[in-house]
Amino acid sequence: MKELIYKGPLNSLSFGNVSYNLLKAMYNQDIDVSIFPIGKVDVSSFEERSDDFKKWIESAVKKRYAKLKSDIPTLQMWHLNGSEHRVSSKQILYTFYEMSEPTINETKLAEFQDKTVFSSSYASEKFTGSHSAPLGFDESFYKTDKSYMPNKIHFGLMGKFEKRKHTDKIIRAWIKRYGNNYDYQLTCCITNPFFKKEQMESVIGNMLEGKRYGNINFLPFLPQNSQVNDFLNSIDIDLGGMSGAEGWNLPSFNATCLGKWSIVLNATSHKDWANKDNCILVEPSGTEPVYDNIFFHKGADFNQGDIYTFDEQDFIAAMEKAETKCKINNDQGEKLKNKFTYENTLNKILE
């Protein structure tokens, strides 16, 4: 039996979801794991039915010190920023990078690991000597076969509000084309957990320019995977793929795996899984600085560079193209479930 120390978060955010699925792959491979959690452990969002797996996680956390040996390798799943802390003498870092210009701090931290593995080939190409291992489809998502809005074309946008993700630009373009046309619906799940409630309300008000649109609704953060699954099943067209820089883009990827049509900016990590057969691709029109003075600050020690951008008319044309395809199941998209699995992710990392 292999022995492994795992260090990472276990919560309802995207990093927590990746951790949970990697640990499940380790459990399925009967790896003897000691878990050193980053932050509070909260796996309630996954609604795991297997008591054996839940007990395995609890035991791996509880007995982590009793089983500690310096020669057992550590797999840490975390940001580059903060990855310098080691549990054992050998550490593999699995991480995400979205920007275009690695800083000296980021480069040194990547070199500090015994091995650094990124989630995309785009990121790996930015760091000499690194590797990549693509993410997998979360098997807790499934087709519900419910009927949600049979008489409308339902667009969805999921992912925290950020300049990097072009949230504002996407919604404004959708309004220009479909606002108050009740043959169409847009549902947004864009709450940013780092914003206060008043900030989020102000952001939405600015996007809508004080006007009322009866065919747009904004959901709160969805804490349960079952709620996210319902959201993904309810939409016909995903817009989250228009993000300007991603480490993988789980919502858009998962939607595509469920047979939905995602409109995707053909850049960064998207190139590892999205193509003209399984998505509606939009070519970038150029790049722009990522800095928003909220999450990204010019001259900071981390997260520097540009994101890809797009022409609004190209995006509107892609939405119109998606209208003609969206009521037909995306069979090519569903094939991604077999190609990209967390078992493959884990095996690639452990190589």
Q: What is the pLDDT of residue 8?
A: 97
Burial class (CB in 10 A: 0-12, 13-18, 19+), 42: middle
Residue 40 identity (one-letter amino acid) = K
Helix (H, G, I), strand (E, B) or coil at 7: strand
d(CA 350, CA 225): 27
pLDDT for res 46: 87
**Residue-wise pLDDT tens for the chain (351 aa)?**
599 999 999 998 889 999 999 999 999 999 999 999 999 998 888 887 778 999 999 999 999 999 999 999 999 999 999 999 999 999 999 999 999 999 999 999 999 999 999 999 999 999 999 999 999 999 999 999 899 999 999 999 999 999 999 999 999 999 999 999 999 999 999 999 889 899 999 999 999 998 999 999 999 999 899 999 999 999 999 999 999 999 999 999 999 999 999 999 999 999 999 999 999 999 999 999 999 999 999 999 999 999 999 999 999 999 999 999 998 999 999 999 999 999 999 999 998
Asked if 117 and 130 touch (Cβ cutoff 8 Å), the reply is yes
Burial of 168 (0-12, 13-18, 19+ CB in 10 A): middle
Helix 51-62 and helix 14-28: axis angle, to 10°?
A: 100
pLDDT at 155: 98
CATH topology identical between 3-137+341-350 and 153-339: yes
Distance between CA atoms of 66 and 60, rounded to whole angstroms? 10
Delimit the domains of the chain by residue range.
Answer: 3-137+341-350, 153-339
Q: How high is the pLDDT of residue 273?
A: 98
The H or E element that residue 76 is part of is strand 74-77
**Whole-angstrom Cα Rg for the chain:** 20
Alpha carbons 82 and 88: distance in angstroms, whole number: 16
* Contact yes or no for 113/93 (Cβ under 8 A): yes
**Residue of 255, 286, 12, 222 lying closest to 154 (CA atoms):** 255
What are the contacts of 20-26 at 24+ separation with CB within 8 A?
A: 20/46, 21/136, 21/138, 21/342, 21/345, 22/75, 22/77, 22/94, 22/342, 22/345, 22/346, 23/57, 23/60, 24/53, 24/342, 25/342, 25/343, 25/345, 25/346, 26/346
Name the class of domain 153-339.
Answer: alpha beta
Reported CATH class of domain 3-137+341-350:
alpha beta
Rounded Cα distance between 322 and 316, Å, is 10
In the prediction, which pLDDT does 12 show? 85
pLDDT of residue 1: 58
Q: What is the pLDDT of residue 315?
A: 98
CB-based contact 106:125 (threshold 8 Å): no
CB atoms within 10 A of CB 33: 24
CA distance 31 to 24: 10
The pair of structure tokens assigned to 182 is 């009740």
Q: Tokens 């016909």 sit at which residue?
A: 236
pLDDT at 47: 80
Helix residue spans in the chain (DSSP H): 14-28, 51-62, 104-112, 121-124, 167-178, 197-208, 225-234, 250-257, 312-325, 331-334, 336-339, 342-350
Report the 10 Å Cβ neighbour count for 300: 12
